[in-house]
Chain A
Amino acid sequence: MTDIRESRDRIDAIRSRDPDTLERVARDNLQPLLRAARAAGLSTDDAYDTVQETMLVFVQKADQFDGRAKVRTWLFGILFRKVAERRRAFFREEAVDEIDAVVDARFDQAGQWIRPPRSAEADLSAGQAMAWLEECLEHVPERRRTAFLLREVEQLEPDEVCNALGVSRNNLGVLLFRARNALRECLEQKGIRGSADAAV
């Protein structure tokens, strides 16, 4: 479903807790919720438990669903409140971070590139590059990784991500900037090292 709102029929079916509809919603969102729970730093066991708790809250509160947000946004919102109960650190974000300085050091006073980006990560579909990307993702702090996952993998609209994570548009920009640049810097490092190894 690509529209922002849910259809009237679907809202009614959810509100009346039609078992087929609720199971369908659960089925459609199970994998995205599991991925998000894992990205937020939960173990596989905790991820399944938390997703199940999320789904049960959803069923319990389904009669209050008003269709103003998409049902998936609502589910992600419940999930992250549950994640925060398990991991207090999840909702902390630093005002400054070293990645900001790393990016800044690539520019001169006039804002021109001193160290322009290298295209070492040119072909990310190659097996080696995918393994690097997976390693680099593990080093991105949970909250940023989760914002990145919701936006780029689940392809939620920016406002939906803000809604689910309970952050402002500005805050989301900071999270995404740090996640994307951390991944880019990490891959560039590995790419350079990788090609040096290959030359030996």
Chain B
Amino acid sequence: MLQCREVVALVGSGEWRAAPLSQRLALALHLAMCRYCRGYALSLRRIARGARRLYRAKPVDPERSARVLDAVRDAAARHRRE
């Protein structure tokens, strides 16, 4: 039986992905029975989803972005000629 602390270590680090099948099953069983650990895992998923929305909503500077892309194009053309 996994301890709650072990569940938090596995879920918080993402190490459960690389864990053996027996441990992943023990984790699933624990989460099915323990509402606190379920709440913990859920809060991490919500935070990840919130972060995705937050970062992706940040605007970029179109002029500066265009300059970077132009520089890439110029450099590619220059290297090709050489």
- Alpha-carbon distance A25/B17, docked complex (angstroms): 30
In the complex, residue of chain B having the shortest beta-carbon distance to the beta carbon of A169: B18
Min CB–CB distance A181 → chain B (angstroms): 6
A59–B79 CB distance below 8 A: yes
**B52: which of A44, A103, A152 is its contact (CB, 8 Å)?**
A152
Min CB–CB distance B23 → chain A (angstroms): 14
Min CB–CB distance B81 → chain A (angstroms): 10
Which of B5, B60, B61 gathers most chain A CB within 10 Å?
A: B5
A151–B14 CB distance below 8 A: yes
Listed A/B pairs (19) with beta-carbon separation below 8 Å = A16-B80, A19-B77, A22-B72, A23-B69, A30-B68, A30-B69, A48-B68, A58-B72, A59-B75, A110-B3, A116-B36, A121-B46, A149-B51, A153-B51, A173-B13, A176-B14, A177-B12, A177-B13, A184-B47
B40–A117 CB distance below 8 A: yes
A31–B43 CB distance below 8 A: no
In the complex, residue of chain B having the shortest beta-carbon distance to the beta carbon of A18: B76
Residues of A within 8 A of B37 (CB): 113
Residues of B within 8 A of A180 (CB): 12, 44, 47
Residues of A within 8 A of B56 (CB): 153
A52 at interface (Cβ–Cβ under 8 A)?
yes
Min CB–CB distance A151 → chain B (angstroms): 7
B4–A183 CB distance below 8 A: no
B72–A173 CB distance below 8 A: no
Which of B3, B6, B46, B80 gathers most chain A CB within 10 Å?
A: B46
Min CB–CB distance A118 → chain B (angstroms): 8
A56 at interface (Cβ–Cβ under 8 A)?
yes
In the complex, residue of chain A having the shortest beta-carbon distance to the beta carbon of B64: A48
Min CB–CB distance B36 → chain A (angstroms): 4
- Alpha-carbon distance A74/B77, docked complex (angstroms): 21
Residues of A within 8 A of B79 (CB): 17, 59-60, 62
Q: A133-B54, A148-B51 are in contact. Are A56 and B44 (CB under 8 A)?
A: no
**B55: which of A35, A60, A151 is its contact (CB, 8 Å)?**
A35
A83 at interface (Cβ–Cβ under 8 A)?
no
The stretch among A2-10, A90-98, A124-132 that forms the contact with chain B is A124-132
In the complex, residue of chain A having the shortest beta-carbon distance to the beta carbon of B8: A103
B65 at interface (Cβ–Cβ under 8 A)?
yes
